[in-house]
Structure 1
């Protein structure tokens, strides 16, 4: 049996290989990669051609060890299934693109352990900064990373004395939702969502309560659900359908579009008309509002704008950490009317 000598795997080309192929110094190759404006056009083209011929790929991790930082930003998102957070990511990416930086996206999937692991991973890989759209839970890991010098900006969550944040006025959103139903002549309102321990849900309920208190003869029932998903919505719809018609609300403020969509589906199956019998307003203005059997009037959060602002604040902190003043910016939500609350 003949033996075949094994050859070692071909090493990946490094900058020295590119320099040799292009007939320039390693410093020139580095300038082409990092400061191309310093290199003459013909030389830059020769280096780029050598990079293409050799299949050279820059080692960003090694570069971050030399410079102490990468040209990347990490973004930990609580739930990519919600298109609001997709809008946030697009806004962040657009702002970072203008600075020649790249975005690394992580989905914690409503899991605190995963959220903490991603923060630690981004810190270990020396990203320049982190944007965090967190769970409604303690932020001890983020606080520790920030204390070690990692800039972290909260998105859809307020900042504190040690960090910045960008939020939407959730109380105003609940107020707008209830006010809209009251303007449509509805007087027996219900607010549904939960658990009420979630700060966003609690603030939306507070806003709805304030709007109802301004209208004589109006009332607000609060219904705490176990979740704000479509499954929770179906349970809510079944609950309302089990009541006598005179005991049902004539207007429903839902803490999320998913919850509203599930409730509408269950109520329609039970013969309850939307909006004739019960008008519905949701929250988030995401795909559930459009895909529902009855398109849902919804309170929208300016996700894309929030993402751009959060990225701008993070860049500001990264570039001038010593003089940076921590703050929280609050944006206004808007209401988008659809068939679920049409007059009638």
Structure 2
């Protein structure tokens, strides 16, 4: 702060006001101080001292869709872990909106939380850069980044798709369909890759891919209509929906056409969303280990806050597991 004050030709107190009470500083002075901060690369990194001194015992969590039980599970796991540290958790839902996600992150930065857990929809690198400039430690959840300048915890979504494909193939299904769109979303891309790998390892098994505009129930209903309209000889006998909401809607759509699940068509989801489990036929899915993800994210954040500049970023990859229910194995199979 003294270096900034000398460069800007102001007092240290004025620099403090610019950082903490900008309304008390004339605009020209504020801009001069901000210019000196940029010139010197000054970043106030006070999170570790806040944590050690007990001045801030709160961690923020930003998720993309609180309507998906995966993110509820992440929040529960994080809440359970911070409770053991006598800390608190603030939860924000970005509702699949990048701009809203950035506003939540800016708010958490300004509130000087001990750190932030971020479960983004797309590559969050720009948001992470902004957070680091303000000295906020961030751990990314449920997203595999190409950058190595932060810690992350994620599920192996390619393995999730592979488990789903292998499950149907081992049940004797040979005409598989993968239903999902928006391949720019990393979980969709990775699960699709896993399904393709399972099919490639199984001679005599075919795969068709049905694109959807979004990943909600109406998209699944349309995909189900497409499947049901096909002749029995070429109709898929096993369907992997990239989300459970899609899978639930597919079951309802093909049921309207008199097709049985899993007799005629075995259907499963792939993201363990309990909000899609209310149908008459329990849905097979892949467990995403959300609570483990939340706990591990808090652990990494606490490590970073404690180690400071000596911290080495790392990734924690969790393995999914398949949960078989009636939609693929039938009532007796469960």
Q: TM-score, normalised by structure 1?
A: 0.78
1:123 to 101, 109, 116: 109
Gaps spanning 5+ residues in structure 2: where?
Answer: 1-49
- Give the length in aligned residue pairs: 279
Gaps spanning 5+ residues in structure 1: where?
Answer: 1-63
Q: Distance in 1 between matches of 2:109 and 2:200?
A: 48
What residue is the counterpart of 1:248 in the other structure? Answer: 235
Measured against aligned partners, the alpha-carbon deviations of 1:191-210 in whole angstroms (never above 9, x if no partner) come to 11111221111110111111
Q: CA deviation at 1:141?
A: 2.2
Establish whether residue 322 from structure 1 lines up as the match of residue 324 from structure 2.
Answer: no
Measured against aligned partners, the alpha-carbon deviations of 1:62-111 in whole angstroms (never above 9, x if no partner) come to xx7xx695211111111000011000001001111111110011011111
What residue is the counterpart of 2:140 in the other structure? Answer: 154
SS in 2 for 1:320: helix
What residue is the counterpart of 1:268 in the other structure? Answer: 255
Q: Distance in 1 between matches of 2:170 and 2:148?
A: 40
Q: CA deviation at 1:147?
A: 3.3
Alignment of 1:5-154 (within 5 A): 70-154=56-140
Q: Give structure 1 regions of 4+ aligned residues with deviation exceeding 6 angstroms.
A: none
CA contact (8 A) 2:158 2:193 kept: yes
Establish whether residue 219 from structure 1 lines up as the match of residue 206 from structure 2.
Answer: yes
Q: Distance in 2 between matches of 1:138 and 1:150?
A: 14
SS in 1 for 2:269: strand
What residue is the counterpart of 1:278 in the other structure? Answer: 265
Larger Rg: 1
Structure 2 CA distance for partners of 1:242 and 1:248, relative to 1, 3 Å = same
SS in 2 for 1:284: coil
CA contact (8 A) 1:166 1:329 kept: yes
Q: Distance in 2 between matches of 1:174 and 1:309?
A: 23
Mean CA deviation greater in 135-144 or 334-343? 135-144
Q: TM-score, normalised by structure 2?
A: 0.80
Q: Distance in 1 between matches of 2:295 and 2:85?
A: 12
Q: Distance in 1 between matches of 2:184 and 2:108?
A: 29
Mean CA deviation greater in 136-145 or 206-215? 136-145
Q: CA deviation at 1:290?
A: 2.5
RMSD: 1.6
SS in 1 for 2:270: strand
